[in-house]
Amino acid sequence: MPEPLLRVTDLQKSFGGLTATDHASFSIEAGTITGLIGPNGAGKSTLFNLISGFLAPDAGTVQIAGRDLTGAAPAAVAAAGCIRTFQTPRPLPGMTVREALLIGPQQQVGEAPLALFRTPAAVTATERENLDAVETIAAEFAIDHLLDAPATDLSGGQLKLVELARAMLARPDLLLLDEPVAGVNPTLRNTLASHIERLHAEGVTCCIIEHDMEFIMHLADPIIVLDRGRVLMEGTPAAVRSDPRVIDAYLGGG
Amino acid sequence: MRTSGVDEMTAPLLQLDAVDSGYGEAQILFGVSISVDPGELVCLIGPNGAGKSTVLKTVFGLLDPWAGTITYDDVSIGGADPAVVVRTGIGYVPQRRNVFGSLTIEENLQMGAVARDDAGTGVIEQLYEQFPILADKRAARASTLSGGQRQILAFARALVPEPRLLLIDEPSAGLAPNTAAAVFDHVAAVNDMGTAVLMVEQNAKRGLAISDRGVVLDQGAVEFTAPADAVLEDERIAELYLGG
């Protein structure tokens, strides 16, 4: 067995008296689209926060491609190739959509100012590449007419697209998507699904939290079901649908 | 299921007929028809995004219906302001931010009396007897209460105008199981004293356990309605929640 791309072992997190993550263990194999589902309050977003460094676990480990990243800062997790999106993306005040998208590409030359003096031509070339990549993806997502608009002018659905596009520009190995189609109209939902499928075909491993069952059951395999902070089961969409424990969890458990 | 003892010939207390509603340009409800009889406890369940809370907000006047009619006690209330709706005898317990944190428990309850013609002093004293936890803390700021205590305060405040119908949005949200059970007991007790309830609840099992009837909503439309103890037996339930 090859090393899984993500391995979460016995992860625990409590907020006061509330146990949000309760000895959760699971792995994500490279090259899969894994769905993460569960009733409200099951701890799905908390799990993303623990993996991506936005929260530190009380106990347990997070390994990405065999490296221990438990409690690492978000930037370190991103540098390790794991990029996440947020359920409710925040608009970026004072930026155009183009600028908001330009945040995506990793290891930008501007982050190493000396290069500006040493290899100015390379800097210019990389910046040109990033701008081209932004325009290409904006055209694919049909938001190219908005590139010069303030990012705060976008609708909720458009913000979701910008969020996904920015995550894609980071060229992640592992993409964590938190409810990518919540509040998105059906046409856009199909567009997002096809973009995720294309990314997957290009070798990006995806893990998706989603309440839209048609969407996630169509797109993901395997599916991991969380309930009250624990992994309830993992299986194919068909196995998840036919497991009485799953519907029981959605209806309020025992 | 409990029996409400409702006379079958009684006209519904609340009747939504073919109601469309939504936010901005986003339509959430599509031709929703729901009725609640006097004294009945109806639980509205369905997957995330089904439009459950939107039904309550539209009845209470926080959203205007785009189409259809809403009748309460034979009076049309569709599109009426919440201030008007509450005076017709409908109380509403929102899901979040439902108490005034900087006010005391006593002041929170007094706010409920805004919809009364008197100060509601007698009713508030009765509520203290019914909810001793509030009596113990009547001079404390609501911000010092636990999540479960806030839920009980919001619930008690909605009772101050002595409504004949209570709209309750997810009473168990964010509460530990034992606390949620206590809140459900209060809902059942108030209903036993004759107040009709239309309740949205994510925890379908617990919600239906205290209800007379269940209404299942999916994608903004009523999928089916059934006696509370029969709802979860329906084969459509798994498909609605998990896709099919």
Spatial distance between the Cα atoms of B166 and A227, rounded to a whole number of angstroms: 31
**Would the CB atoms of A211 and B174 count as touching at under 8 Å?**
no
Q: Which residue has the higher pLDDT, A102 or B43?
A: B43
Check B205 against A252: CB less than 8 A apart: yes
Query: pLDDT at position A110, please?
Result: 66
Determine the pLDDT at residue B25: 80
Most confident by average pLDDT, A192-206, B2-16, B208-222: B208-222
Measured between beta carbons, which residues in chain A are less than 8 angstroms from residue B204?
A: 250-252
Question: What's the pLDDT score for residue B29?
Answer: 97
Rg, C-alpha atoms of chain B: 17
- A218 pLDDT higher than 80: yes
Strand partners, A84: A176
Q: Where are the domains of chain B?
A: 14-242
| Bigger pLDDT: B59 vs A89 | B59
Q: For residues A223 and A225, what is the distance between their CA atoms, to the nearest angstrom?
A: 6
pLDDT band at A107 (very low <50, low <70, confident <90, very high): low
pLDDT tens digits for range B102-147: 999 999 999 999 888 898 899 999 999 999 999 999 999 999 998 8
Do the chains contact at A39 and B202, CB–CB below 8 Å? yes
A-B CB pairs within 8 A amount to: 48
Give Cα B211 distance to the centre of its chain: 12
Alpha carbon distance B66, B22 (integer Å): 8
Bigger pLDDT: A124 vs A149: A149
Q: Who among B174, B204, B242 is closest to A252 (CB)? A: B204
pLDDT in tens, A176-213: 999 998 877 778 888 889 889 988 999 999 999 998 89
pTM equals 0.80
Checking B23-28 for CB contacts under 8 A at 24+ apart, the result is: B23/B54, B23/B63, B27/B66, B27/B220, B28/B54, B28/B220
Is A187 in CB contact (< 8 Å) with chain B? no
**Average pLDDT value over all residues in chain A:** 89
Are the beta carbons of B238 and A217 separated by less than 8 Å?
Answer: no
Task: Name chain B contacts of A246, Cβ cutoff 8 Å.
Answer: 242
Nearest to A252 among B49, B176, B206 (CB): B206
State the pLDDT at residue B9. 60
pLDDT category at B2 given cuts 50, 70, 90 is low
Which carries the bigger pLDDT value, residue A79 or residue A114?
A: A79
User: Is it the case that residue B1 has pLDDT exceeding 70?
Assistant: no
**Residue B209 touches chain A, beta carbons under 8 Å:** no
d(CA B48, CA B56): 15
Fold classification of A6-91+156-250 (topology level): Rossmann fold (3.40.50)
Mean pLDDT of B54-75: 96
Residue A36 has φ and ψ, to the nearest 5°, of -120, 110
> A40 to chain B, minimum CA–CA distance in Å?
8
**CB spacing of A211 vs B176 below 8 angstroms:** no
pLDDT of B107 reads 95
Instruction: Report pLDDT digits (tens) over A47-66.
Output: 999 999 999 999 999 999 99
Quote the Cα angle for A10-A236-A65, to 5°: 45
Angle, in degrees to the nearest 10, between helices B147-159 and B177-192:
10
B73-100 pLDDT, tens digit per residue, is: 999 999 999 999 999 999 999 987 789 9
CATH class entry, domain B14-242: alpha beta
**pLDDT > 90: percent of chain B:** 76
Domain ranges of chain A: 6-91+156-250, 92-153
What's residue A254's pLDDT? 55
Partner residues linked to B213 by β-bridges: B42, B227
Per-residue confidence (pLDDT) for residue B110, from 0 to 100:
94
**Picking from A144-153, A205-214, B7-16, B194-203, which range would have the lowest pLDDT averaged per residue?**
B7-16
pLDDT at A87: 83
